[in-house]
Amino acid sequence: MTISVIGAGYVGLVTAALFAELGNDVYCIDTSKERIESLKRGKIPFFETGLYEYLSKNAKEKRLIFTTSYSQSVPKSQAVFICVGTPPSKNGEADLTYLFSAVEETAKNLKDYTVVVIKSTFPIGFEDDLERIVKKHARVDFEFAASPEFLREGTALTDAFHPDRIVIGTTSKRAQKILLELHAVLPGERIICDMRSAQLIKYASNAFLATKISYANALATICEKTGADVQKVLLGIGTDKRIGSSFLQPGIGYGGSCLPKDVLAFIAQANSFDYNFDLLRSVDAINNSQIDKFITKIRTAVGATDNITPNLEKIKIAILGLAFKPNTDDMRDAPSIKIIQSLLNLGADLTLYDPKAIDTARKIFPKQKYAKDVYDAAKGQDALVIVTEWPEFLGMDLQKIKNSLKRAIIIDGRNIYDTIKMKEIGFSYFTVGR
Ligand code: NAD
Ligand code: UGA
């Protein structure tokens, strides 16, 4: 088939790579000329394992074309996948400006019957607005479908080629047929439902993942108060197949461009349908409190517990990990940002390091010092703070790190090391819930 993918971001580029690799003719459209020009030159706007290989191979074989022009591709597409951002607005609701504008530009260029598939995460209640926008500009047959995306950054390609489920949110048999055909060779359960159910599946999934994380974080706090070990407690819980062990890793809370915004948007959405989602308010509150608790932990670790502000003055701290999770350079809503800001407010002298996200970080913290590797970061520091669990940090030579530090203190927001081993090496090792 010929398809258009609107938005050359994380979801758009992965979707374009997937459908081109499956043998379709794919046009990937973005309003950013700069982004499209650099994609044409083979430059990917962010780090995602395997993405460059898939995009360059399919571009070379002419199954994938990058363009800023809707008119070049939409008229000949059987399906248009809308993958633009739906960021949070000030009150937590999803900002649908990009979505409406992408639908409008698509509508202006529809020629024959087309399925307009919304892959962006968008709230229930705006379906009529979307229909109205298209009808204002197009006299042709068209149908909407919601087919939410479940990829995780860092493993986006694996997730796209091996999905657990493919949600096809449309009651139109004609649209269902096109979407089933496009996804035919992919594994995973097919969930065919109406559009609203599909939209809800997406919010409910992300909110459930966030709930698991906040539950683990709440347990970590209880463990700290009672002297129990949260890792053992979670092992004991997660081995029950009904519960499962994934997304039960406690730490500094969930970040990234999706979980935090989707939890807030889901609360706002529920509110607009007259349901007070107190459960999710607590999930969000627990998540926010993780950062404050972590800052207190850092202050305790370095002995700066008095109430004089700034009380971390002259304290040298290395931050290991800036990306919101490993294997990405994305720092959208990364916990590291709040941690760095709080420590700077307390007067700390920071050195920052991340295997991939330093370029991103420089745009947010242009005046900070950046290290070239973990050992460089550790040199002469009072403490080392682990913010992201990069494999590189797991594999580092801890004896060498200890010798580089001024004081052998590690505050670990991701519980990546064995507590006994750390004690044996001679570290004062602070963790979450152990
Ligand atoms: P992104 O910010 O990385 O990319 C969005 C792209 O859309 C940008 O390149 C932007 O220039 C472009 N754009 C904006 N308006 C446009 C328009 N009118 N026409 C053409 N291009 C336009 O966004 P993302 O992270 O890929 O997220 C997209 C959507 O998918 C969001 O709703 C998000 O919640 C959802 N989602 C994201 C992920 C993820 O891991 N990032 C996973 C699942 C779902
Ligand atoms: C998340 C979902 O996992 C995807 O299924 C979804 O498609 C995507 O959001 C989206 O809608 O955009 P992503 O944001 O890439 O994917 O990353 P996750 O792996 O979910 O991690 C999110 C945050 O939770 C990270 O900060 C991570 O460190 C944190 N986390 C994750 C924990 O603190 N504990 C855990 O056990 C797992």
Cβ contact 54:15 at 8 Å: no
CB 310 within 8 A of CB 376: no
Q: How high is the pLDDT of residue 309?
A: 64
Query: How many angstroms separate the CA atoms of 118 and 169, rounded?
Result: 9
pLDDT for position 242: 98
Distance 83 CA to ligand 1 centre (A): 5
Ligand 1 centre from 10 Cα, in Å? 6
Pocket of ligand 2 (CB under 6 A): 121, 149-153, 206, 209, 213, 247-249, 251, 254-256, 258-259, 324-325
What percent of the chain has pLDDT above 70? 99
Can you tell me whether residue 6 is helix, strand or coil? strand
Q: Is the pTM of this model over 0.95?
A: yes
Per-residue pLDDT for 307 more than 90? no
Tell me the pLDDT tens digit for each residue of 120-148: 999 999 999 999 999 999 889 999 999 99
Report how far ligand 2's centroid is from the alpha carbon of 375 (Å): 28
Q: What is the mean pLDDT of residues 308-334?
A: 93
Which ligand has its closest atom nearest to the C-alpha of 164?
A: 2
* DSSP E strand boundaries for 119-222: 142-146, 165-169, 189-193
Distance CA 328, CA 258 (A): 14
Q: What is the pLDDT of residue 138?
A: 87
Q: Decide: 258 in ligand 1 pocket, CB within 6 A.
A: yes
- Give the model confidence (pLDDT) of 336-364 as tens digits: 999 999 999 999 999 999 999 999 999 99
pLDDT tens per residue, range 240-271? 999 999 999 999 999 999 999 999 999 999 99
The mean pLDDT value for 84-107 works out to 96
pLDDT at 338: 98
User: In a mutational test of the pocket of ligand 2, which residue from 48, 122, 152 has the highest number of ligand atoms less than 8 Å from its CB?
Assistant: 152
197 CA to centre of ligand 2 in angstroms: 22
Q: What one-character-per-residue DSSP string does 127-181 give?
A: HHHHHHHHHHH--S-EEEEE------TTSHHHHHHS-SEEEEE---HHHHHHHHH
H/E segment holding residue 156: helix 156-161
Give the pLDDT confidence score for residue 311 in this predicted structure: 86
Ligand 2 atom nearest to CA at 212 = 36
Enzyme catalytic residues: 258
Asked if residue 308 has pLDDT above 80, the reply is no
Q: Is residue 98 within 6 Å of ligand 1 at its C-beta?
A: yes
Mean pLDDT over each residue of the chain, to the nearest integer: 97
Tens of pLDDT, residue by residue over 160-207, are 999 999 999 999 999 999 999 999 999 999 999 999 999 999 999 999
> CA 121 to CA 258: how far, in whole Å?
9
